Amino acid sequence: MQSIGHLIDGKSVQGGTRSQDVFNPATGKAEKRVLLADRVTVEQAIASAQAAFPAWRNTPALKRARIMSNLKVLLEQHADELCALITAEHGKVLGDSLGELQRGIENVEYASYAPELLKGEHSKNVGPAIDSWSEFQALGVCAGITPFNFPIMVPCWMWPMAIACGNTFVLKPSERDPSSTLRLAELALEAGLPPGVLNVVNGDKEAVDTLLTDPRVKAISFVGSTPIAEYIYATGCASGKRVQALGGAKNHAVVMPDADIPNAVNALMGAAYGSCGERCMAIPLVVAIGDATADAVVAALRVEIGKMKLGAGTQAGVDMGPLVTQQHYDKVVGYVNQGVAEGATLVVDGRGVKIAGFENGYFLGPCLFDNVTPGMKIYQDEIFGPVLGVMRVKSLQEAMNLIDAHEYGNGTCIFTRDGEAARYFTDNILVGMVGVNVPLPVPVAYHSFGGWKRSLFGDLHAYGPDSVRFYTKRKTITQRWPSAGVREGTVFSFPSSK
């Protein structure tokens, strides 16, 4: 069985005495084992990053950017290989893996613009013969902790820009599907990244806690569930680090009576069931305005769900693959059972699905609930699976009150032909990312990604312009060169332009 280690100082390292299986979700078989880094191994990675920082910090920004440009080309050339690795360990269909990779490449491309993004401000003669300017300086060693659902894209939210800004980096990917992330780092070395600038350690809580408490790590980026995000934020901040921790979500899609129902339903199908619902920007809830709207949406969803094809992500024509692990499968099925027990109407039951040739895979068919209410756990909790619930309300304001009252505020959308309603919704809803007739309003690489409320802990969002601010610190320099031979009197006030 293949053993997956770590990448430290440009070399493959077999660190740690513990390991765990990496499964193929389509077959349910353990095909690899990943080593779990202990404290010593993580400290070795941090030391490598710290040693590489002085030279990398002083490397011209344009040279750093050219490495990102080289990496973009390599990622495009190795797309099939990377997508196969994602699908083999995550389970998502190959087309979805390619979409993830393309979004990651966009972030690498944005990082190649770092020389422009790092330009500061300059003002001449802010006082008599006094000039002032600001510049953005690297922090030092930064770290990222990334989730299983996007093993290429989310790491690309973090380290490419951090490195382009002059930092060095230690990445701890998910131990559930580590191979594509490790291959990404190997390609970065091939693109010209010096050893030690990017290090990858696979591990669990021991590795995370080492990164959170080691004083050499100056900043931590995290994407995952809200309870862990809270822990990361509190622990990292208590250790004096800069932290951004993106947590969970429960995204609502509002369907107005005037909406184009066929188009809305097509959009909702992909948003709810794409990647088996394992997305923080998935749509697990539809809020229909009026019973007539709800009836039309449920009827159309039922028809479209009946057309879906389930199977291994490598099979042609498959719409949805398996869930990532047996444990996660059991958790999602538990929510479906609970929804039935709490009184929601299970319109489509995806439990008990078996795929020929993949009988031991973690397959759960698409599930559709109607008559979901706010008191139900399937409304309150992030399920992270192919479970869509429909709620019925009487007005747009009632729908907005529901959304605003929820603890999460990651994403939302509205389907309507009414510009006034859309404008009111986008202006007033208490959610960080909002779509109008767009179910997954995920910002492109040159905008920033982040939710509100308990979906984000920290002041700055991920990637885009906010990433430059997160991975740098501003320094302002004010200087004056007095004329030679001119002796001036003592001044006891602040210098000014008067």
Express each pLDDT in 420-430 by its tens digit: 999 999 999 99
Q: What is the DSSP letter of 276?
A: G
Q: Does any domain span residue 194?
A: yes
Instruction: Report, as an integer, the average pLDDT of 252-262.
Output: 98
Instruction: Report, as an integer, the average pLDDT of 439-465.
Output: 95
Q: Quick one: how far is CA 262 from the chain centroid?
A: 30
pLDDT score recorded for residue 443: 93
pLDDT at 32 over 90: yes
My answer on whether 325 and 235 are in the same domain is: no
My answer on whether 226 and 302 are in the same domain is: no
pLDDT at 290 over 90: yes
Q: Does any domain span residue 485?
A: no
pLDDT score recorded for residue 46: 98
My answer on whether 90 and 230 are in the same domain is: yes
> Which amino acid is residue 233, in one-letter code?
Y
My answer on whether 23 and 154 are in the same domain is: yes
My answer on whether 467 and 428 are in the same domain is: no
Q: Does any domain span residue 482?
A: no
Q: Does any domain span residue 359?
A: yes
- Residues 6 or more apart whose CB falls under 8 angstroms from that of 372 comprise 285, 339, 344, 378, 379, 389, 390, 391
My answer on whether 157 and 17 are in the same domain is: yes
pLDDT score recorded for residue 483: 79
Counting residues of the chain whose pLDDT is more than 90, the rounded percentage is 94
- Enter the tokens of residue 209: 């806690």
Instruction: Report, as an integer, the average pLDDT of 308-317.
Output: 95
Please calculate the CA angle 479-480-481 and round it to the nearest 5 degrees.
130
Continuous H helices in 165-239: 179-190, 205-213, 226-238
Q: What is the CATH number of the domain that holds 118?
A: 3.40.605.10
Q: Does any domain span residue 497?
A: no
Total domains in the fold of the chain: 2
Q: What is the DSSP letter of 449?
A: B
Please indicate whether residue 280 is annotated as part of the active site: yes
Host domain of residue 325 = 252-436
Query: What is the overall mean pLDDT for the chain?
Result: 96
Q: Does any domain span residue 498?
A: no
My answer on whether 138 and 222 are in the same domain is: yes
Q: pLDDT, tens digit, for every residue of 84-130? A: 999 999 999 999 999 999 999 999 999 999 999 999 999 999 988 89
Q: What is the CATH number of the domain that holds 294?
A: 3.40.309.10
My answer on whether 417 and 274 are in the same domain is: yes
My answer on whether 351 and 469 are in the same domain is: no
What's phi and psi for 16, nearest 5 deg? Answer: 100, 145
Q: Does any domain span residue 494?
A: no
Q: Does any domain span residue 495?
A: no
My answer on whether 180 and 311 are in the same domain is: no
pLDDT score recorded for residue 498: 61
pLDDT at 496 over 70: no
My answer on whether 228 and 284 are in the same domain is: no
Q: State whether the Cα torsion 221-75-89-20 is positive or negative.
A: negative
pLDDT score recorded for residue 237: 97
pLDDT at 476 over 90: yes
My answer on whether 269 and 366 are in the same domain is: yes
> Of 156, 165, 280, 367, which is the active-site residue?
280
